[in-house]
Chains A and B, each alone.
Chain A
Amino acid sequence: MLSFIVKRIFSTVITIFVVITITFFLMRLMPGGPFSSEKKQTAQALENLNIKYGLDKPVFVQYTLYLKRLSHGDLGPSMQYEGRTVNSIIAYSLPVSARLGVISMIFAMLVGVYMGIVAALNQGKWQDKLCMLIATVGITVPSFVIATLLIYVFAVKLHIFNAIGLSSPKDYILPAIALGGSAMAFVARLGRSALLDVVRQDYIRVARAKGLSKNVVIYKHALRNSLIPIVTYIGPLLAGVLTGSFVIEGLFGIPGMGREFIASIGNRDYTVLLGFVVLDATFLIVANLLVDILYAVIDPRIKIEA
């Protein structure tokens, strides 16, 4: 077990390093630099800016400098906003995105698992069909369509919610549903098929035969084991929440990382873009690592070959 964890952590570190390297060099391939904006600058001013941000040096030197700074946790200054560092932009926008992301994930997990249980226990009946219909819609409808539909119905027509901004706790409801919709659908489908598998196992029949009530068997014995496949889905779920937020944050006017990311692409803000990709990728890779370890811990049947 220990050697498995050590090995996985080692490969995680290498993966993150490769991601940083690829992103760094990809970024330098982008057409247009951060200072080729609408303002016409003199050649001298441009050169000074390049020197200030180290863009005059060879790419490889820039790369080693970046790695050196990164090892201290410093993601560098923003090239677009004078006087702001990437760290400060992240410190400002990450909590906004994280709060929304966590809320939408909790929504996706709770509602998804519940729908899965209802569907599995009523297999073939109308409850099952309704839940699976909702799940199919959730998977096939892109998040931006769900988001605009929600805004149109609940904010524009019915005036129940605000269309833009996050000023009160109520404002989280619509973006969380839009962001977590497809994840919820996946969890519901996964949960249904997992629970159906587990319910047919011998130990469930034994528990029933020994006289335990149906609810105890379902919620104490069957549900726990059917949650295992859902745990593996947390990694991809995080990725969905992260990338989905590009659109959702734009549509709902939420000042989070997704919006900053899109803005930094338009601005060719190398350092901000690189910082965000590094953070996003690290986040996801570490989440996948934790899921792998968690998976092995909660399911003793899984044999680890180290």
Chain B
Amino acid sequence: MEINTELFEKIPKDEKKLNEIVRPSETYFQDAWRRLKQNKLAMGGLVFVIFITIAAIVGPMLSHYNYYSQNFRISNQGPSAAHWLGTDKFGRDQFVRILYGARISLSIAYIASLLNLVIGILYGSIAGYAGGNVDNIMMRIVDVIWSVPSMIYVILLMVILNKPDHPASDGGMSSIILAMAISFWVVMARIVRSQIMALKEQEFVLAAKISGASSMRIILKHLIPNSMGPIIVTMTMSVPSAIFTEAFLSFIGLGISAPQASWGSLASEALDGYQLYPLQLFFPAMAICLTILAFNFLGDGLRDALDPKMRK
């Protein structure tokens, strides 16, 4: 056996790298991103989400059709080279209407989720940090809202807020967003509260307190950044439920009103003639399903990636 003597040579002292850090240090989010990249389903979801968002913004601008002009000579056509997904009963291009629908459905979902995030973080962090009676009262209120079937309240709020005949009406979009924000923030508030409750007893918070940081600063600079993982996951998961709710409302006739189109209202319009033209229902339904699926995959992946216990 041949021994490679080079390997056994003495290293001069100054060349020894005693305290070398083998791997470059990663922040929490770099670490999570690295793990997310390994999850194919989640990355597929992320790619789809980015794709559909860009398509919703840019798509309608690139097409020479618009979502409202009617042409009865070409009504109820199947997919063709001129109209990729066919036309509806007024001869409007389905492809463009679905892209416009994506604009409205996704705007509603994103803005409603963002509002939930803001209200939920504010409410949850105050309740969790204050503790005691303040927490008790605030959480009783959340319990009450929690135990009511939220869809019933969204429906009632829609009836109150939505005035489709009003000249300044935007087809019901802002009403849906508001109705959902009022009803759905409790989920986020609960998550944030439980996170803050667990974190506030830890030493770094005590250290911040001793250094004279105000409660406001501790919540904003220490507690919320440290509970970002579950918050992001909850927010990702609230997008599909918002899309779902919007589709549901539009489907029962309380959501977006014509000529504006959302995925739910497109599906609802196609319902009258679906026995003859099933494709008109199929495409918006597919758009809803694929987007919900993508967000679910992404949310599941994020949950795994952002959980420090999963770190390898």
> Which residues of A pack against B, CB within 8 Å?
11, 14-15, 18-19, 23, 26-27, 29-31, 136, 139-142, 144-145, 148, 152, 156, 239, 242-243, 246-247, 250, 262, 265, 273, 277, 280-281, 284-285, 288
Contacts and interface: CB of A to CB of B under 8 A. Distances in A.
Contact of B252 (A30, A239, A262): A262
Contact of A145 (B140, B156, B288, B293): B288
15 contacts: A15-B143, A26-B156, A139-B296, A140-B296, A142-B248, A142-B251, A142-B285, A144-B251, A145-B289, A152-B274, A152-B275, A242-B149, A243-B151, A243-B152, A262-B252
B149 A281 contact: yes
B292 A15 contact: no
A265 B155 CA distance: 9
Given A142-B247, A145-B281, A281-B147, 5 more contacts: A15-B144, A142-B289, A247-B252, A273-B156, A284-B149
Contacts of A23: 156
A250 B254 CA distance: 14
B40 to A, nearest CB: 14
A19 B141 CA distance: 11
State the main secondary structure of chain B at its contact with A: helix
Contacts of B296: 136, 139-140
Interface of B: 140, 143-144, 147-149, 151-152, 155-157, 159-160, 163, 240, 244, 247-248, 251-254, 267, 271, 274-275, 278, 281, 285, 288-289, 292-293, 296
Given A26-B160, A31-B163, A243-B152, A18 B144 contact: yes
Nearest to A243: B151
Contact of B271 (A139, A148, A243, A277): A148
Contacts of B289: 140-142, 145
Contacts of B144: 14-15, 18-19
B278 A247 contact: no
Nearest to B166: A31
Nearest to B162: A31
A30 B160 contact: yes
